[in-house]
Amino acid sequence: MGRAAAEALYREGESANTVTSYRSALRYWAGWFALRYGQPIALPLAPAVVIQFVVDHATRTTPQGPVSELPPAIDTALVARGLKARTGPPALATLMHRLAVIAKAHQLENAANPCADPAVRELVARTRRAYAKRGERPARKAALTREPLARLLETCDDSLIGLRDRALLLFAWSSGGRRRSEVAGATLAALTRMGPGEFVYQLGWSKTNQAGADLPDNAKPVVGAAGAALEAWLHASAIRDGAIFRRIRRGGHVGEALSDAAVRKIVKQRCEAAGLDGDFSAHSLRSGFVTEAAARQVPLAETMAMTGHTSVATLVRYFRAADARRSTAADLMGELADDDGRAESGSAKPR
C-alpha cells in the first residue's frame, strides 16, 4: 500500500518507537483491507472504507452486550497473520491511532484525506462520546512517584546490574522524567561533571525537540541521590565514552548500549521485584515525576523546564488533581460531634 507514504513516514525523523507504531498501523490497515475487500489497499481510500473500519473496530451497546461489525473469520485471520495479538475489538486509543496514521499517509501523498470527510468526522466524534458515556477512559500507566520508586530502588543491589538499574531509574526520574528513548540514547559526551556526585546532562534530541535545537532548558541536573547513583555506576563500569547505560553480559562484562525495549523491561522487572500492584511501564517514571512535582506544588514553569513539555494543558491536569486533593472545599462538613461530644465524620448520627 502507499509505499511512498510509508517511506515518507519513516524519513520524518521520528523516534524509533513512533516509526514502529506507524509501521504496525499501516500493516494492520493493509491486512484488514485485503481481507475485507479482497484486494490490495491503495490510496486514496474512500470515506466509506474508513467508516467501515470504524464500525468494524468500535463497539456499540446492544441488549446482548457490546458488539462490533468485524466478521469473526476476518478477526481470526488477522490474529493468524500476526497483525493483532487476540481476537476482539481494540482499545479506543488504538483505533484512534490507526485513524491518525492513515490520515497522515494521505497527507504525505497529497491525497484527499477521507478522515476529514464530514461523515467520518461525525462518526468518530460520536464514537468517542459513546465510549465516554459508558465510562470508558483511555488507559493510563500507573505513576512511579517518590514512594513506589523508593521501593524499586530497594531491589537494586551492589552488583553491576543493580548499580546500573539504580542509576538508570534515578537518572530517568530525577532529570525530569526522561523517556525510554532518551535514557537509551544518553551518552557521556552530553554529561558534564560539576562536582562529586553532581552532573548536568545536555539533552540534545527529544520528542519535543526533534531538531536538536540548543535550548536553555536542555540542561538537566543530575544531583543528590541520582548523582550519587550515577557516580557509583560510572566508577564500577569503568565507562569512559559512548552510551551511559549498557547491557551487562555474562561474567560481568559491560556490553553495548541498552535499547528502548531494554529500558522498559528493566522498569517492569523492578516493579515486579518490588511487588508493586498496577500497570507500570517506562513512561511511569515520567508521569511519576510530574505527579510528584504537582503534589509538592513545584511551580508549573519549573516542572516544564525539567520535563521538556511544551504544552501547559498536558501538565495542568496533574496539578489540578493535586489541588483537588488539597481543596478545603472538599470536606466542608468536617467533623461533627454527637450528643456525647464524640467526633463523627460525615453526616449526623441517625436518631
Which residues, in sequence order, are CB contacts of 304 under 8 Å at separation 6+?
217, 310, 312, 315
Domains of the chain are 3-133 (1.10.150.130), 146-326 (1.10.443.10)
Q: What is the 3-state secondary structure (H, E, C) of 279-299?
A: CCCCHHHHHHHHHHHHHCCCC
- Give the range with max mean pLDDT: 129-138, 149-158, 291-300, 301-310: 149-158
CA 133 – CA 296 distance, rounded (Å): 33
Higher pLDDT, 349 or 71: 71
- Give the range with max mean pLDDT: 2-16, 265-279, 325-339: 265-279
Backbone angles phi, psi at 199, to 5 degrees: -135, 160
Q: What is the dihedral of CA 24, 30, 36, 39, to 10 degrees?
A: -170
CA 252 – CA 313 distance, rounded (Å): 45
What confidence score (pLDDT) does residue 138 get? Answer: 64
Residue among 36, 14, 179, 39 at smallest CA distance from 101: 14
User: Coil, helix or strand for 343?
Assistant: strand
Write the pLDDT tens digit of every residue in 235-265.
999 999 999 999 999 888 999 999 988 999 9
Lowest mean pLDDT among 23-37, 103-117, 319-333: 319-333
What confidence score (pLDDT) does residue 210 get? Answer: 55
pLDDT > 70 in the chain, percent: 85
How crowded is residue 160: how many other Cβ atoms within 10 Å of its Cβ?
Answer: 17
CA 172 – CA 128 distance, rounded (Å): 34
What confidence score (pLDDT) does residue 4 get? Answer: 62
Query: At residue 343, does pLDDT exceed 60?
Result: no
Mean pLDDT across the stretch 306-316?
81
Query: At residue 327, does pLDDT exceed 60?
Result: yes
Write the pLDDT tens digit of every residue in 41-62.
999 999 999 999 999 999 998 8
Higher pLDDT, 159 or 345: 159
Crossing angle of helices 3-11 and 16-37, rounded to 10°: 170
Residue among 339, 335, 330, 334 at smallest CA distance from 350: 339
Q: What is the 3-state secondary structure (H, E, C) of 294-321?
A: HHCCCCHHHHHHHHCCCCHHHHHHHHHH
pLDDT band, very low/low/confident/very high, at 348 (cuts 50, 70, 90): very low
CA 178 – CA 79 distance, rounded (Å): 34
CA 281 – CA 67 distance, rounded (Å): 30
What confidence score (pLDDT) does residue 350 get? Answer: 39
Mean pLDDT across the stretch 269-286?
91
Query: At residue 205, does pLDDT exceed 70?
Result: no
Mean pLDDT across the stretch 156-166?
96
